Amino acid sequence: MQKPSDSRDRLTVLKRFGADPGALHADTYIPKNFPKHGPLVVVLHGSTQSAESYDRGSGWSALADECGIALLFPEQRQTNNPIGSFNWFKFGDSRRGRGEPLSIRHMINQVVDDHVIDPSRVFITGLSSGGAMASVMLATYPEVFAGGAIIAGLPYRSANTLMQAIFRMKGYGGPSDRKLDALVRGASKFNGPWPTISVWHGGRDSTVDKSNADSIVRQWQKIHKVEGPPTRVEMVDGYPRQVWCNADGREVIEEYIIGGMAHGTPIRADGAGGLGAEGKYMLEVGISSTRHIANFWGLT
């Protein structure tokens, strides 16, 4: 178990990473056992959180020590957003080659170069506004990522204004399935292979309605050619995991709806394999999304 104090001073500021049109901050964590050509996980915090507080709660740096994973933590500045949210719904921060997505892309380039990371093993995850920005990155730079995990987030370009964002968060309206698919395909000139997608959401989330989780799944189903019901449903740590496999039998989409959980990241801090620490939006529900996401990506 990672104690609340364990992640303090663990992160290192990434001082230079090329152009920064989104005016973001960045931290890294490179464990001592990180191998050459090892993997990188980009971790995006939620509103009112910092890179450090999200790492402390989720346990990503503890897992990095365990498995030899490099971590990059983009961080929002209050000058960009008063509650520290990534601006996933703004025109200038949801397109390739612009704003916050381009800043994060340049951060990734820098860390990959600095630490001899395998460019085919780059992944991204985020909570809430960070989850929505993970959707943005997966759509606008799909060639960069082998996989993504969206926790309590929203589909790519489900909103284009703050008012729309508020409505979508509450589960009202949103693009059709055909439009959701077209938005991802139109976000870049990429034709695949596409990143795998892991979706996590609380069944009682009143901040971002859980209907958004199903919309994220549907946004990627046609792209992965796995339309329709899941290939299988299994129980993991007491919660249902839906899995969609492609024609080759590879798992390309998974979805966890954590019944009874509110808005936040699911953690299991105690016991064997425990990670992180309970806190605001870091919810002890007996399942570690951090560990299971890393498992899905083949990092453990």
The residue written with tokens 């996980």 in the block is 41
Q: Reduced to 3 states, what is the DSSP secondary structure of residue 293?
A: helix
Sole residue written with tokens 């809430």:
128
Task: Give the rounded distance of the alpha carbon of 93 from its chain centre.
Answer: 16
* Residue among 142, 248, 135 at smallest CA distance from 200: 135
Tokens 């991802």 sit on residue: 184
Please identify which of the residues 53, 103, 128, 288 carries the catalytic annotation.
Answer: 128
Residue type, 16: R
> In the numeric block, which tokens belong to residue 102?
């381009």
Among residues 83, 63, 80, the alpha carbon closest in space to that of 288 is found at 63
Active site annotation includes 5? no
Q: Which residues contact 171 (CB under 8 A, 6 or more apart)?
A: 209, 210, 211, 212
CA distances from 26 to 16, 45, 88, 122 (A): 9, 11, 17, 16
DSSP output for 177-202: HHHHHHHHHTTSS--SPPPEEEEEEE
Q: What percent of the chain is helix, strand and coil (3-state, nearest 5)?
A: 30, 20, 50
Q: Is the peptide bond before 193 cis (omega within 30 degrees of 0)?
A: yes
In this structure, are residues 284 and 271 in contact, taking their beta carbons and an 8 Å threshold?
A: no
Residues annotated catalytic, as ranges: 128
